[in-house]
């Protein structure tokens, strides 16, 4: 289970870093666990969704963040924010099953 928690922490770091570097700063972070999957969400006010850079575009200046998110998650994407006219929510879903002895609240 520790490896899945480490993956989730890395995903959060990448989502927040991406919002900080490419949008108008991360504004809110949320997490939700349904007993099987953890959904991680970062809101920002930037209009442009993150992109998955092709390997040829990755290098010394970055481009690896969303590739890591893509590799470690079951699903990720963006949706428009519902609390304002601009911005987006970037979400990522990772499996952390309940069979590890943790119960959903």
- Between 53 and 32, the more confident residue is 32
Which pTM was predicted? 0.81
Span of 20-29, 34-43, 86-95 with lowest mean pLDDT: 20-29
Task: Decide if 70 is inside a domain.
Answer: yes
pLDDT at 47: 85
- As a whole number of angstroms, the distance between CA 103 and CA 44 comes to 31
**What is the average pLDDT value for the chain, to the nearest integer?**
83
Q: Which residues pair with 62 in a beta bridge?
A: 59
3-state secondary structure 14-26: HHHHHHHHHCCCE
Task: Decide if 102 is inside a domain.
Answer: no
Residue 20's domain comprises 1-95
CATH code assigned at 72 = 3.30.565.10
pLDDT band at 100 (very low <50, low <70, confident <90, very high): low
Task: Decide if 100 is inside a domain.
Answer: no
pLDDT at 2: 74
Of the chain, the percentage scoring pLDDT greater than 70 comes to: 81
Task: Decide if 20 is inside a domain.
Answer: yes
Q: How many domains does the chain have?
A: 1
Task: Decide if 49 is inside a domain.
Answer: yes
Task: Decide if 101 is inside a domain.
Answer: no
- As a whole number of angstroms, the distance between CA 11 and CA 93 comes to 9
What average pLDDT does this structure show over 80-84?
85
Task: Decide if 104 is inside a domain.
Answer: no
- As a whole number of angstroms, the distance between CA 83 and CA 62 comes to 31
Task: Decide if 103 is inside a domain.
Answer: no
């Amino acid at each position: 289970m520790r490896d899945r928690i480490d993956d989730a922490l890395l995903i959060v770091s990448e989502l927040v870093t991406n919002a900080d570097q490419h949008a108008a700063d991360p504004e809110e972070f949320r997490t939700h666990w349904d007993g099987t999957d953890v959904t991680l969400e970062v809101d920002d006010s930037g209009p442009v969704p993150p992109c998955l850079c092709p390997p040829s575009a990755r290098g010394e200046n970055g481009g690896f963040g969303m590739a890591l998110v893509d590799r470690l998650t079951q699903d990720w994407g963006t949706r428009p924010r519902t609390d304002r006219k601009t911005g987006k929510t970037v979400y990522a879903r990772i499996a952390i099953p309940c069979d590890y002895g943790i119960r959903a609240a």
